[in-house]
Amino acid sequence: MIKKNLIIRRFVVPVLVAIVFSLAAGCSNTDVLPAGVGADVGADNPYRKISAKEAYTMMNDLSDYTLLDVRTEEEFREIRIAGAILIPDNEIRIRAAAELPDKSAVILIYCRSGRRSANAAYELIGMGYKNVYDFGGIIDWPYSTIR
């Protein structure tokens, strides 16, 4: 019986989790997104991964959005996208309510390579933010930056 439980925990559960996540990723509702922007995964609190081009288009088309850099202060001083505000990923939970009070506002998030921006996006979504878009890393940003 113990061996059977171990097999279930080590093999069956991860496979089921992978299936659920792949099915969720395949379901999309693009009605809630601006035209031409990535897929919505989940209806209530979606994680939206978009390209740098889609983020750039949104920055040009929308009059109201927040551009959020979640790297360190040192990285931010070295290079950043114009108009970005800095809240390091490890400070999101502490600072978001005060610095990002509108949970329905469009928030475009980036970091260096995309890992921290994804983590920050999930953190914000978990806190009830509704329009969070992760466009990955500044290393993939082909547009102008501030040095």
For the segment 57-111, what is each residue's pLDDT rounded down to a tens digit?
999 999 999 999 999 999 999 999 999 999 999 999 999 999 999 999 999 999 9
Q: pLDDT, tens digit, for every residue of 108-141? A: 999 999 999 999 999 999 999 999 999 999 999 9
70, 88 contact by CB (below 8 A): yes
Q: Given 55, 106, 111, 138, which residue is catalytic?
A: 111
Which pLDDT score is estimated for 66?
98
Of the candidate ranges 1-15, 21-35, 37-51, 104-118, the one whose mean pLDDT is the lowest: 21-35
Q: Which residue has the higher pLDDT, 33 or 44?
A: 44
Report which of residues 62 and 19 the model is more confident about: 62
Give domain limits for the chain: 2-140
Query: Would you tell me which CATH number, out of the four given (3.30.450.90, 3.40.50.720, 3.40.250.10, 3.60.70.12), belongs to the domain 2-140?
Result: 3.40.250.10
Instruction: Evaluate whether 146 touches 80 at the Cβ level (below 8 Å).
Output: yes
Please report the pLDDT score of residue 29 as a whole number. 34
Rounded alpha-carbon distances, angstroms, from residue 80 to 8, 40, 100, 137, 144: 47, 27, 19, 11, 9
Question: Would you call 27 a catalytic residue per the annotation?
Answer: no
The whole-model pTM stands at: 0.72
- Identify the CA nearest to 55 among candidates 14, 86, 76, 83: 83
Whether the per-residue pLDDT at 52 is higher than 50: the answer is yes
- What pLDDT score does 97 carry? 96
* Close Cβ partners of 138 (under 8 Å, ≥ 6 residues apart): 69, 71, 79, 80, 81, 110, 111, 112, 145
